[in-house]
Structure 1
Amino acid sequence: MLNIDEIQNGIVIDHIKAGTAIGLMDLLGIKGNRTASVALIQNARSHKAESGRKDIIKVEGDASWLNLDVLAYLDPDISVTVIENGKAVKKEKPQPPKRLVNIVRCKNPRCISSIEEECDQIFELSSNGKYRCIYCEQELQVKPE
C-alpha cells in the first residue's frame, strides 16, 4: 500500500474522477504554483467510485488563493476537506458556481467572446441548471473531461 504523509494545514480535494486530476490542477492554477507543497495521488482505490479508482490532490499550506467554486462544475462528486493542525475541520461538496469566468470557451463562432481576444469567457448558471454564455446565450453542452 502506498503511504502519503498527512498534511498539517491545507486542503484535500478528494473523489476526483480517476485520470483527471492533472487537468484539474491546471484549471485551478496548482500546477504552476511554486509556493504550495502539493501531493497528487492518481488511481487510488475507492469503494465509492464506479470505476473503483479515484484521484486525490493534497495542498499543504495556505490554499485561499484557489478558486474552488469551479470544482462542482468540473466534477459533482468532488469533496473538499479543510485540514488545520492535522485534523479535518470541515468537509464539503462544492456547489455549482453562479458564474464560470475563463474556465470554458464559447463554441459559437459568432460570439463576441470568440472574436475579441481580450474578452472574458463568462457563463452564468440559468434556472434550468445549465450554463449559458452571457454574450450570445449559447448553452454549454458537455462538461470537460
Structure 2
Amino acid sequence: MLEITSIKNGFVLDHIRAGVGVKIFKYLKLEDGESEVALIINANSMKNGRKDIIKIENATEIDFTVLALLSPGITINEIKNEVRVRKIKPSLPKQVKGIINCDNPRCITNDEKYLEHVFDLVNEDNGSYKCQYCDTIINLSEV
C-alpha cells in the first residue's frame, strides 16, 4: 500500500481533477524550488472517483487564482505544526490575463504577439471565458 505521510508546515492541494496535478506542478515550478513535494496521481476519491493531490512542505505562498483555473473545485489546505489552519476554495477570477490563449485563428492576439490575451468570465458554473478581442468562448474543461 502506498503511504504518503502528513506534512508539518506548508500546503496540501486536494480535489485536483485527475490528470491535472502534473500541470499544476509545472505551473507552480515546484521542480525548481527548495520544498519537498509529493505529487499523488489518480488517488481514490469518494466524490469524483479519482483525483490528484499535491503536498508541499515549507511553502509560504501559492497563486490561488491560477489553481482555480486549472482545476475548478480544488481545495487548498494550509498546514502549520501538522494542523490545518486554513481551508481555501478559490473561486474563478472575473478576468484572466496572459494565462489562457485564444484558440480562434482569426483573433488579433494570434497575429499581434505584443497583445496580451485577456478573457472575461461569462459563466462560473461551467468555467466559460470570453476573449475580449474576438468574443470567442473558451471552456476551462477544454483547456
Within 5 Å, give how 1:1-145 maps onto structure 2. 1-27=1-27, 29-49=28-48, 52-64=49-61, 66-126=62-122, 128-129=123-124, 130-144=128-142
Paired-residue identity, %: 41
CA distance in 2: counterparts of 1:109 and 1:95, whole angstroms: 29
Aligned residue identity for 2:21: A
Structure showing the higher strand proportion among its residues: 2
Query: In 2 relative to 1, CA 34–92 (structure 1 residues): closer, same or farther, beyond 3 Å?
Result: closer
TM-score by length of 1: 0.82
CA contact (8 A) 2:77 2:86 kept: yes
Counting matched residue pairs gives: 140
CA contact (8 A) 1:74 1:144 kept: no
> 1:4-60, CA deviations, whole angstroms, 9 ceiling, x for partnerless residues?
121111111101122221122223x234432322110112122121xx221100111
Give the 4+ runs in structure 1 shifted more than 3 A.
none
CA drift of 1:104 comes to: 1.7
RMSD across aligned C-alpha pairs, in angstroms? 2.0
CA contact (8 A) 2:99 2:117 kept: yes
TM-score by length of 2: 0.83
Which residues of structure 2 form unaligned runs of 5+?
A: none
SS of the residue corresponding to residue 25 of structure 1 reads helix
